[in-house]
Structure 1
Amino acid sequence: MKQQKSILTFLLIFPVTWCSVAFGQTEQQTKELRNATLQEVIAYALVNKPGVQQSLIDEEIGERDIKSALSGWFPQITGSANYNYNLKQQVSVLTTGGQSQTLVLGTKNTSAFTLQADQKFLDAGLIQASKASKYYRQQYQQNTENTKINTVVGVSKAYFDVLSSNEQLKIINENIARLEKQFKDAKAQYENGLVDKTDYQRAQISLSNSKADKKRAEELIKYKYAYLKELIGYAGNTDISLNFDAVKMENEILLDTNQRETYENRVEYRLLQTQKQLQHLNTSYNKWSFLPNISGFINYNWNYLNNNFADLYNKNYPSSLFGLRLNMPIFQGTKRIQELKKSQLQEQRIDLDLVNIKNQIKTQYEAAMATYKATLNDWKTAGANVAISQQVYQTIKLQYDEGIKTYLDLMTSETDLRTAQLNYLNTLYSLLSSRLDVQQALGTITVNQ
């Protein structure tokens, strides 16, 4: 009675629990990013990006492969059954006192059921599987780590690109506002006969060009948002908004340029080291293949014999057997020797891969650091140019209003200001991206960043 109540309680609770879990998963997958910071966007990507999810699934698949390979150490139990009808029974001739007599052997109907357990005690493949299991787990985890690091870098760059484009759009809007005022002022002066129509026409051309720039920037931002959503595995029809703290990001731009590359920090280098360990175990396996295979077995048989099929299973004649097997491969046409030599050569090849990736890491670090230092200088120069361009524009604007400077001078200073502002944003994005490249080259990027 108690058992029935427990089962009934489980059946009542399970659907509610399952629905709660399913609802929680759906809520997580459909979560909207509103005013999201970079850390929130990355955290979302590390959970929802298909590539990251596939890496985690690959880890689970790898774990199943390992357990499947190691299952050979457990007893392998099999059952079999058969039925035979002897169309022509075997006959034996017995000779007694010079007289021969025939004797029919067996029965018309035979049947047997067999239950057998096999246990391996020494097997080269199972030894290799046991020793290689931790390296395969390590390899799957490193592949996931590599995927996550690439996700952090890719998402961060796309995030910076979107927010840089948004800031550029703000600058274009500010420029349009200035040009609209200048256009109205030039038109009023032209209508009052103070200037010719050249200033008015130039203002109109500049305003039209800026509006075209705005349209182009707005369309590009749509694509950049779509690309960012693709990178993080965000629902295609769901809106996303980002939070850009310019002061905080500018404070985090600087890094220690005296750091040097450490090969062990790079997951790509550690992956090759893991592959080398696995290849070394493969070489050992080819040596172990010269050893014999030893296994044991035990079985129990239910045997049924009768000439009449209806009475076949009335009586059982059981039998049982225990034994050991030794399988010694003596000569296989030098196959094992060739496989051993091949594996040793593959080990040498991985050693060269390690040398090669060290050179690549060093080159990548030097390139990333050189780009970062150059871009850092460009960023500082661009910031100074923005301040100077603003002063020049304000001065010339006052002089133009007083009739000292021409409208062409005003337009030139306005163009210089906009160019300086856009250059500053472009160098800021390039600097943030190059900083990521340096961190990736150093191997200091973690999923917690």
Structure 2
Amino acid sequence: MDTTRSGNYIFNLADCIQYGLAHHHDMVNANLDVHFSEEQVKEATGKLLPHADITAGFNDNMKLATSLIPDIASGNYDKKIPVQFGTRFSSNVLGQVNQTIFQSDYFLGLKAAKVYSELASKTYTRTEIDTRVAITKSYYAVLTNQENIRLTKANLDQLKKTLADTRARYDAGVAERIDVDRIQVSYNNSATEIQNQIRLLVYTMQLLKFQMGMPQEDQLELKETVQDLTVDDFATDTSNYAVTDRIEYSIQNTQIALNELNLKSKKMAYLPKLSAFVNYGYNYFSDKFSSLYNTGFAASTLGLSLTWNIFTGTERLHQIRQNRITLEKSVNDRNYLSQQIKVEVKNANTVYQNNKALFVTQKENMTLTQGIYERVVLKFEQGVATSLDVISAESELTQARTQYVNSMLNTLISKTDLDKAMGRIK
């Protein structure tokens, strides 16, 4: 990857793809999704670690609660007397550590988080493939537009020479004005066509930079030409591909794994939750706020907590059935995806083979038409052909050139689509 200076790049296809994988909007977000999933795994792991809390409280019992108790002092137990217990001010501080020993959701959640992280990684790969394909197609569009301009300019140079020779012959009185005008019209049309092609080239270059995530203000120059691609030598073999090579198939397998974990989670929700805890704290009492924290009374507890939801209606049963149906659908989707991939490969191969055959034909036709045009021009210069013959040959050459360039672009794009369908773009 060459750069002459910041914001000025000279790239080949591999360089464009490398730049796009680092800068394209979708790739940046996909990479952030991967990091997000990694944090979710760490979050799920953190739930298995001990959790510590500190709680504190302060109470001002402005009016103590009154209770009725038997009059023990006088021995009259049938008589109730009002008494107040406690102090006006009270405070407490308590620290507690909780540790989950067993809870099915925690452990399954950790597995699900890891599978989700795997899904995010595969989604990143799919985004990478889509980015490669988009950049490759845009890159080919630029190259074919450049080739179209090169061929048109070569034709324009020939027309310019023919026009100059015809004008000289007219000035010498051996050619007619109509011959000069006809060739001038053809020359003007070709010159205008080149300007249109240049504007189209500017747009395709802008599209390429957009697919790469490159600022439009930066300058991009391509190292390669279509001659470096050897389009007519492209070959492919559709007999040794496998549907499992497609990232979409792998993503669907991961989705099935997630659905299996969801089903297992609902089934294991019937199991009890067991946790342990230990706490230590101080309680403070006083009738005066100034002396509240002079003396503290320590307290500590170590214990286990078991929670078991024996019956929660039929809600969980139906949730299990729903998750089982979702799992069956995801398996069915994978089977459908397998068939879909096979059809995509057959269709992409058909389109590619047709485009390649047409490209070979159009390339030969352009060569033949170029030869016809050159012979007609030679005959015209010798006075045995008319200007109409030149214009007709030039028109046929322009059509052949356009068909050649279009078939080249279609071949390159369909080859890219076929490689993607077979899972060969990684």
Shorter chain as normaliser: what TM range? over 0.9
Task: Give the corresponding residue for 2:46.
Answer: 71
Task: Give the corresponding residue for 1:53.
Answer: 28
User: In the alignment, is residue 108 of structure 1 matched against residue 115 of structure 2?
Assistant: no
Give the deviation of 1:257 after TM superposition.
2.7
User: In the alignment, is residue 443 of structure 1 matched against residue 423 of structure 2?
Assistant: yes
Amino acid at match of 2:17: I
Task: Give the corresponding residue for 2:382.
Answer: 402
Residues 18-57 of structure 1: pairs in structure 2 closer than 5 A = 31-32=6-7, 34-57=9-32
1:118-145, CA deviations, whole angstroms, 9 ceiling, x for partnerless residues? 1111212112112223311210110000
Task: Check conservation: 2:21, 2:212, Cα contact below 8 A.
Answer: yes
Among 319, 322, 335, the residue aligned to 1:339? 319
User: In the alignment, is residue 348 of structure 1 matched against residue 328 of structure 2?
Assistant: yes
1:23-80, CA deviations, whole angstroms, 9 ceiling, x for partnerless residues? xxxxx9x954533110011111111112101101000111112221232111111111
Deviates more, 1:211-220 or 1:267-276: 211-220
Distance 2:36 2:198 in 1: 44
Distance 1:259 1:79 in 2: 67
Give the deviation of 1:101 after TM superposition.
6.3
Q: Provide the aligned C-alpha RMSD in A.
A: 1.9
Give me the TM-score of the superposition, normalised by structure 2.
Answer: 0.93
Distance 2:233 2:52 in 1: 64
Task: Give the corresponding residue for 1:194.
Answer: 174
Amino acid at match of 1:296: A
Amino acid at match of 1:204: Q
Task: Give the corresponding residue for 1:371.
Answer: 351
Give the deviation of 1:182 after TM superposition.
2.3
> SS at the partner of 2:214?
coil
> SS at the partner of 2:296?
coil
Distance 1:299 1:102 in 2: 36
Task: Give the corresponding residue for 1:249.
Answer: 229
Deviates more, 1:247-256 or 1:377-386: 247-256
Aligned length in residues: 418
Q: Percent identity?
A: 26
Give the deviation of 1:269 after TM superposition.
0.8
Residues 11-410 of structure 1: pairs in structure 2 closer than 5 A = 31-32=6-7, 34-92=9-67, 93=69, 95-98=72-75, 103-250=83-230, 253-410=233-390
Amino acid at match of 2:56: A
Unaligned segments of structure 2, at least 5 residues: none
Distance 1:299 1:50 in 2: 51
Unaligned segments of structure 1, at least 5 residues: 1-27
Amino acid at match of 2:44: A
Task: Check conservation: 1:261, 1:441, Cα contact below 8 A.
Answer: no
Give the deviation of 1:391 after TM superposition.
1.9
Distance 1:232 1:356 in 2: 33
1:63-110, CA deviations, whole angstroms, 9 ceiling, x for partnerless residues? 112221232111111111110011221344352342676543111101
Task: Check conservation: 1:33, 1:41, Cα contact below 8 A.
Answer: no
Give me the TM-score of the superposition, normalised by structure 1.
Answer: 0.89
Task: Check conservation: 1:302, 1:319, Cα contact below 8 A.
Answer: yes
Amino acid at match of 1:38: L
Distance 2:122 2:19 in 1: 20
Give the deviation of 1:420 after TM superposition.
2.4
Distance 1:258 1:322 in 2: 68
1:373-424, CA deviations, whole angstroms, 9 ceiling, x for partnerless residues? 1111112112211221222122222111111111111222222223323322
Distance 1:135 1:235, change over 3 A: same
Task: Check conservation: 2:232, 2:360, Cα contact below 8 A.
Answer: no
> SS at the partner of 2:234?
coil
Distance 1:34 1:219 in 2: 21
Task: Check conservation: 1:107, 1:305, Cα contact below 8 A.
Answer: yes
Q: Higher strand share goes to which structure?
A: 2
Distance 1:393 1:197, change over 3 A: same
Deviates more, 1:125-134 or 1:266-275: 125-134
> SS at the partner of 1:240?
strand
Distance 1:252 1:397, change over 3 A: closer
Distance 1:204 1:34 in 2: 39
Distance 2:10 2:64 in 1: 88
Distance 2:145 2:127 in 1: 27
Distance 1:77 1:108, change over 3 A: same
Give the deviation of 1:330 after TM superposition.
2.3
Deviates more, 1:425-434 or 1:287-296: 425-434
Distance 1:354 1:430 in 2: 31
Task: Check conservation: 2:148, 2:402, Cα contact below 8 A.
Answer: yes
Deviates more, 1:272-281 or 1:378-387: 378-387
Amino acid at match of 1:281: L
Task: Check conservation: 1:263, 1:358, Cα contact below 8 A.
Answer: yes
Task: Check conservation: 1:59, 1:141, Cα contact below 8 A.
Answer: yes
> SS at the partner of 1:167?
helix
